[in-house]
Amino acid sequence: MKKYLLPLIWTLILLALGGCSPLRIDPTGAGPTDDAADVTKSAPAERGGMGADNGAQAADVGAAGVGDPLFPQSGNGGYDVQHYDLTLSWDDASGAIEGVTVIAAVATQPLAQFNLDLSGLEIDDITVNDAPAEFSRNGSELTIRLADTDALATDEPFSIAVAYHGKPQPIEFALLDEIGWLDYRGGVVVVSEPDGAASWYPVNDHPSDKASYHFTVTVPKPYVVAANGDATAPVAQGDMLTYEFDAPAPMASYLVTISIGDFWIQEEPGPDGVLISNYFAEGLSSSLLGAFDKQAEMLAVFTQAFGPYPFDVAGAIVIDSPISFALETQTRVIYGPFMTGEVVVAHELAHQWFGDSVTPASWEDIWLNEGFATYGELLWTVHEDGEESGQQMVHQWYQARANEDRLGLAEPPGVVSPASMFNRVVYERGALTLHALRMTVGDDLFFQILQTYAHRFAYGNASTADFIAVSEEISGQQLDDLFNAWLYEDPLPDIPEAGLFRADFQ
């Protein structure tokens, strides 16, 4: 993710427009995001007597959260999702969807009961291995209870099918106002970091459970759908168009997107056989879109720095709605119309290696996303503008952090809360952490460390401890003190000594 001071700027613009601006993300009809809370139902019709006390401690009950340090209720325990097959249709007049999500999972413990995350929406039917299953809801927790004869054994594969409908409501997240399914004038965009995926499909909503995806999305003509992965040509039936996308590489739920709008599609070959395909909202000026002309070159630069690009498609979805940030949705990045600067594009493409392919195992390690993507900005800047520009960037980052330090506002980037996880310190002191590592071990070992880390944890999850272990293994140095000082301790360490930048990373 990348955000600057645009939220403030937009707030001022919106205030100046008297709040009637068509630019605002449309919260039409937004009620409480958990408006289905406490509704207990069952399918088939007979209620199963599942209650809050029913087996909460039992050995065959999957946990209602994975215990993430920042978001303990996110995700669920007891199973590992392999694949999501999402089929949905969208009505442009009402904004409602009708969907069926089929999940292929493997039990990681004996299971008679487990949870999915789903916020709002009405459930029509749930089956597990094609057998009807009872369910109940409490906020965004959807609890599914199996008949005794259908209980699952450890390592047993199983399928869950959830049919549902309704108008998705975004999920409130203080830092970004709203996340998840955002219905704006002219279309829909999904931006879910950190836990907005549950606003539009039932999901194990935590980055530690990555899975492949297939999307089948039906919309009225002439809307265009953009999602993650490989697109096939839309199929028309009457007034409707059905779009399919296949995303075979494991993906964290916060990186899943579909966007519905009046896009035109631009394709070009990228390096190493990667297809670059961009979805641009009609009417955006060519000057806004100029930064995307350099994606192929950026991928080439980052391939040299980080190793092979992890996916077979790359590109952008630029929407005509004022979201004040860009989000590194896997293979196809979502950009608001004024988040299209060259450095932002470089940041989001660097995320494809760090965040998307290698995903933090928990949200407290968010610097592994943002510090690395911000370092991508530096590598691109040096490539484009030379070493001096890179040195200036490092000094600007350092000065901003030093100023915070003097005001007593500094918070190390490895110590975050839901309120501070997207603070600039995470980005810039995170990037300075990498720069300090580079100045300590030298260019050759530094890029060897980045490439080893990107390769070893590709398509999976990693922790800060994993990155430190790779750094020590490759360099042969004890680096605990360096990482502790930069990530976890006050005060801000001295600026990493100016060293040589190399534009070619060879």
In terms of Cβ atoms closer than 10 Å to its own Cβ (0-12, 13-18, 19+), residue 334 is: buried
Q: Which amino acid is at 214?
A: H
Rounded Cα gap, residues 213 and 247, in angstroms:
5
Tell me which stretch binds Zn ion (CB under 5 A): 49-57, 299-307, 362-370, 473-481.
362-370
The label of the residue with tokens 């309704």 reads 166
Amino acid at 496: P
In angstroms, what is the minimal distance from the CB of 427 to Zn ion? 7
Closer residue to Zn ion, CB minimum distance, 123 or 251: 251
Closer residue to Zn ion in complex, CB, 427/501: 427
CB nearer to Zn ion: pick between 2 and 332: 2
Stretch of 85-93, 162-170, 174-182, 365-373 lying at the interface with Zn ion (CB under 5 A): 365-373
| 302/405 Cα distance (integer angstroms) | 32
Query: Site residues for Zn ion, window 367-396 (CB under 5 A)?
Result: 370, 373
- In the complex with Zn ion, the residue whose CB is nearer, 134 or 370, is 370
Taking the complex as a whole, the smallest distance from the CB of residue 325 to Zn ion amounts, in Å, to: 9
Sequence-distant (≥ 6) Cβ neighbours of residue 203 within 8 angstroms:
84, 101, 116, 117, 118, 197, 253
The helices-and-strands tally (H runs, E runs) of the chain is 10, 26
Stretch that binds Zn ion, among 252-260, 363-371, 403-411, 451-459 (CB under 5 A): 363-371
Q: Are strands 134-138 and 325-327 parallel, antiparallel or unpaired?
A: unpaired
| 426 binding Zn ion? (CB under 5 A) | no
Residue 421 makes contact with Zn ion by CB under 5 A: no
Burial class (CB in 10 A: 0-12, 13-18, 19+), 40: middle
- The sheet carrying 211-220 orders its strands as 131-132, 122-128, 157-166, 97-107, 79-90, 211-220, 240-251, 230-237
Where does this chain touch Zn ion (CB under 5 A) — which range of 14-22, 120-128, 364-372, 485-493? 364-372
Cβ closer to Zn ion: 1 or 436? 1
Length of the chain: 506
Q: Which two tokens stand for residue 242?
A: 């059905």
CB closer to Zn ion, 64 vs 421: 421
Q: Show the binding pattern over residues 211-230: x = contacts Zn ion (CB under 5 A), - = does not.
A: --------------------
Pick between residue 260 and residue 326 the one whose CB is nearest to Zn ion. 326
How many residues bind Zn ion (CB under 5 A)? The answer is 4
Is 1 among the residues that bind Zn ion (CB under 5 A)?
A: yes
- List contacts with Zn ion (CB under 5 A): 1-2, 370, 373
